[in-house]
Amino acid sequence: MIETFAYEALPSRVRFGRGTIKEVAAEVDRLGARRALVLTTPQQAAAGERLGALLGSALAGYFNDATMHTPVEVTERALDTLRETGADCVVALGGGSTTGLGKALALRSGVSQVVIPTTYAGSEMTPILGQTEGGRKTTIRSLDVLPETVIYDVDLTLSLPPMLSATSGVNAMAHAVEALYARDRNPIISLMAQDGIRTLSSALPILVHEPANIEARSHALYGAWLCGCCLGAVGMALHHKLCHTLGGSFDLPHAETHTVVLPHAVAYNAPAAPEAMAAISRALGAPDAAQGLYDLVRALGVPLSLAKLGMPESGIDKAADIAVENPYWNPRPVTRGGIRDLVARAFAGERPRAAATEDEAA
């Protein structure tokens, strides 16, 4: 029997394929925009210039200082550039850093957005913006930050280093995992979530050894799109709260943090979400959801511990304190003792396990 549910399709246009970046000028024109500001990180400045050449007369200028976790002070500088160039559109090329900056500019100015992802982050498909100020990362959900157009070009992911492919892909899988036990989950998104996990988990091990494998790259980008749709359509839970806490408080790399934490967050929630765990296990082809995710991460050869990412051991208690201050909805009650145990195991890179049942009453 199918339970009562609500499903709301988000108003985004998606162009998927190979060589699709060449259509960027047409997509900007389709939005009715005339002057586009290209956004990149410093490392992708040269790629941004090639994109600018494709825009031709529609190019308004460049801002190449997009930064991880979208610091408010960087957004303010980009807003100055937006005004100086007279741009009425932004074209964000890159991963979550540039996508986040484009969203922050859209929120403050109302400019339209074209996003061209080069990683598997998935945030391009969401009406969610995470911003950091004073060492704290906060998120908002609003259609004002949803990109109007997303151009997926498989060719742009060929240069993505194997390890970044792996962590970016697991980051995308986290969106689908939490969608399966979200409070507002629905059958449509659950189908997309399972297929996203299945597609990415099969493609990522290939990409680690064969980064130029076009078929695997296509599957990974398709899977990332599915997972991004999940993130945009339903609410997230404990895993995302923890990653925002850890990233904003200790300046940890975004995708790598998601990769380390995901198996532990899934293990914590497993007793309260058996149907979701069964779906994750089927998608992974593993007998246990949390252990299957841990084994996947280990097989990819990426860091398994928060310590390897630069988190100090003294941060375990701080992270637990922050995580329980204003917790997201979660299928299992969020307790400080349980979260501290989770973070401690993630810090050490140990195998995940469910929090002790007595923590429920702590």
Summarize pLDDT for 280-328 with one digit per residue, the tens. Answer: 999 999 999 999 999 999 999 999 999 999 999 999 999 999 888 878 8
Instruction: For helices 162-180 and 187-209, give the axis angle rounded to 10 degrees.
Output: 160
Domain regions of the chain by residue span: 13-157, 162-361
Q: Identical fold at 13-157 and 162-361?
A: no
Strands 112-117 and 149-153 come out as: parallel
**CA separation for the pair 163, 159 (Å, rounded):** 11
Fold of the domain built from segment(s) 162-361:
Dehydroquinate synthase-like, alpha domain (1.20.1090)
Q: 37: helix, coil or strand? A: strand
Query: What is 13-157's CATH topology?
Result: Rossmann fold (3.40.50)
Per-residue pLDDT averaged across 93-116, rounded? 96
Q: Within 89-213, where are the H helices?
A: 96-109, 162-180, 187-209
What's the whole-number mean pLDDT along residues 240-254?
Answer: 89
What does the block give as tokens for 193? 């979530």
pLDDT computed for residue 3 by the predictor:
76
Extract the tokens encoding 100.
């986040």
pLDDT range class, residue 360, cuts 50, 70, 90 = very low
Average pLDDT, the chain: 94
Residue carrying the six token digits 């998606």: 14
Rounded to two decimals, the pTM is: 0.90
Instruction: Note the pLDDT of residue 189.
Output: 96
Q: Residue 208, SS3?
A: helix
> What percent of the chain has a predicted confidence (pLDDT) above 70?
97
Opening angle at CA 235, ends 260 and 221, nearest 5 = 60
Q: Which residue has the tokens 């906060």?
A: 138
- Residues 158 and 211 sit within 8 Å (Cβ to Cβ): yes
